[in-house]
Amino acid sequence: MASLILGLETSCDETAASVVRDGVYILSNAVSTQHDLHERYGGVVPELASRAHLERLLPVVRAAVDEAGVTLDELDAIAVGNRPGLIGSLIVGASAAKALAWSLGKPLLGIDHVHAHLYAATLCEPSAISDQPSVADCQSEIAYPALGLVVSGGHTSLYAMAGPLNMELIGRTIDDAVGEAYDKAAVILGAGYPGGQNVDQLAQRGTPEPQRFPRSMLGKDSLDFSFSGLKTSLLYAVRGQPVGRGKNTSFERDHHDLTDAERADLAASFQHAVAQTLVTKIKRAIKQLEAKGHPPRAIVVGGGVSANSLLRQRLRSLGESAELAVHLPGMAVCVDNAAMIAGLAHARLLAGQTDNLSLPVIATTAMA
Ligand code: KG4
Ligand code: ZN
């Protein structure tokens, strides 16, 4: 089915709008990041985030529509990430989407942000469509059932996917999300904010020591994740043993006392521990799904950490050895964006699912 969908995304600290054609072609992908605004606080401040969305959303929507070369009347639907996320930020996006849908007389679709991350690998990036390739050149058709892995700043989750709209949560983090662990690692290593990308680059200059850090596998059959032990091990490796307790805790040193080569080696060992943990859990999940008689035919990955250089490499090798197609998002749609929202909305529209103006915003969808 042909469709032209405008997606909006305001769940955290990116204000984004995108026009996607037929659920595949990204005609525009406008993202205004608020990193500069939150950097001095070392994390996202919810009230600042929602105010910034309010200021930035309309210019971002205008940019997305202009870049796509379409008029608002030509759109078939308006989609918005309405869950999970910061409640004030979600309200800004949902209110704008409702106003647009109502005033234009178009269907409204509320999209789960985490599920949308698993749609990102289906999308064609702008660079790939500049020569207007045929669908066959561009479309990344996913064979279902598939195993989905979302690795973002807020989630580390495994899904048994029967389709893009039909997935069951089979594993999740019991403490830090993997992106969160990366962001904290960046603070510990003095790599700057936002952390993931900086730690990744630092790690690429270092040499990993294979067993330097623990890999938390939890129970023998567990598909859940835990990254807080790894983070604490890195903290002690950088700062030495803690002295004192609670507020009075102090450390022997900090990252300023390490050489660049030492920081890079620690980053590399951290990065190896993360990638190995994720790959081990994926292998475990594949075995369990096979044992249940639903062997996955593909692995689908999404979320900011799917931009990680080592993880991408490891997942590709896993795909080759397990003879499974591995679908990784293009670099422009790993981190938060609205193209994935518009893309998944196409699948919902195809399935005849739309929402109305009473669409709620939902901060937490822990069990989804
Ligand atoms: O998906 P996303 O944009 O936001 C959430 O939905 O949470 O993910 C952001 C996370 C951040 O924690 C960021 O540090 C991490 O993705 N990230 C990376 C890389 N690029 C972004 N982590 C590791 N390696 C990267 N190259
Ligand atoms: Zn996200």
**Residues 54-84: pLDDT tens digits?**
999 999 999 999 999 999 999 999 999 999 9
How many CB atoms neighbour CB 350 within 10 A? 14
pLDDT at 192 (0 to 100): 87
pLDDT at 120 (0 to 100): 97
For a mutational test of ligand 1's pocket, the pick from 119, 151, 152, 331, i.e. the residue with the most ligand atoms closer than 8 A to its C-beta, is 152
Residue 272 in 3-state DSSP? helix
Q: Cα–Cα distance between 120 and 126 in angstroms, integer?
A: 13
For a mutational test of ligand 1's pocket, the pick from 34, 187, 335, i.e. the residue with the most ligand atoms closer than 8 A to its C-beta, is 335
DSSP 309-367: HHHHHHHHHHHHHHT-EEE---GGGTSS-SHHHHHHHHHHHHTT--B-TT----S--TT
Would you give the DSSP letter of residue 193?
S
Distances (CA, A) of 81 to 16, 110, 163, 297, 357: 10, 6, 19, 28, 14
pLDDT digits (tens, 9 = 90+) for 252-274: 999 999 999 999 999 999 999 99
| Amino acid letter, residue 147 | L
Ligand 1 geometric centre to CA of 238 (Å): 22
pLDDT at 328 (0 to 100): 96
pLDDT at 65 (0 to 100): 98
Residues in the ligand 1 pocket, defined by CB under 6 Å: 12, 152-154, 179-180, 182-183, 194-197, 200, 303-305, 307-308, 335-336
Q: Residues of the chain with pLDDT > 70: what percent? A: 95
Ligand 2 geometric centre to CA of 52 (Å): 18
Which strands, in side-by-side order, build the sheet including 298-302? Answer: 166-172, 156-163, 146-151, 298-302, 325-327
pLDDT digits (tens, 9 = 90+) for 144-168: 999 999 999 999 999 999 999 999 9
pLDDT at 126 (0 to 100): 64
Question: Count H helices, E strands: the chain?
Answer: 12, 12
* Nearest CA among 328, 302, 307, 359 for reference residue 111: 359
For the question of whether the overall pTM of this predicted structure is more than 0.75, the answer is yes
pLDDT at 27 (0 to 100): 96
**Ranges of the chain with pLDDT below 70:** 126-140, 366-368
Ligand 1 nearest atom to the CA of residue 11, by list position:
6
